[in-house]
Amino acid sequence: MHARFVYSSDIYFDRRIDGNTLETVFLRPQGIFSRRFSQEHAGAPVVAEGCSMRFWGVLSLIVTAMVARHSLGVLAGTYLAEYGRTSKLGDVVRFCNDILLSAPSIVIGLFIYGIIVLPSKHFSAWAGAASLCLIAIPVIVRTSEDMLRLVPNSLREAGVALGCPYWKMIVKIGWRSARPGIITGNSSCTRPG
pLDDT tens digits for range 4-63: 444 444 444 443 433 445 555 567 666 555 655 555 544 545 455 556 677 778 888 888
User: What mean pLDDT is predicted for residues 130-150?
Assistant: 93
From the CB of residue 29, how many other CB atoms can be counted at a distance below 10 Å?
Answer: 9
Query: Domain boundaries in the chain?
Result: 2-39, 67-187
- Answer for the pair 42, 11: CB distance below 8 angstroms, yes or no: yes
Give the CATH number of domain 67-187; options: 1.10.3720.10, 3.90.1150.10, 1.20.1260.10, 1.10.1060.10: 1.10.3720.10
Give 188's pLDDT tier (boundaries 50, 70, 90): confident
The residue type at 3: A
Name the E strands within the chain. Answer: 2-6, 12-16
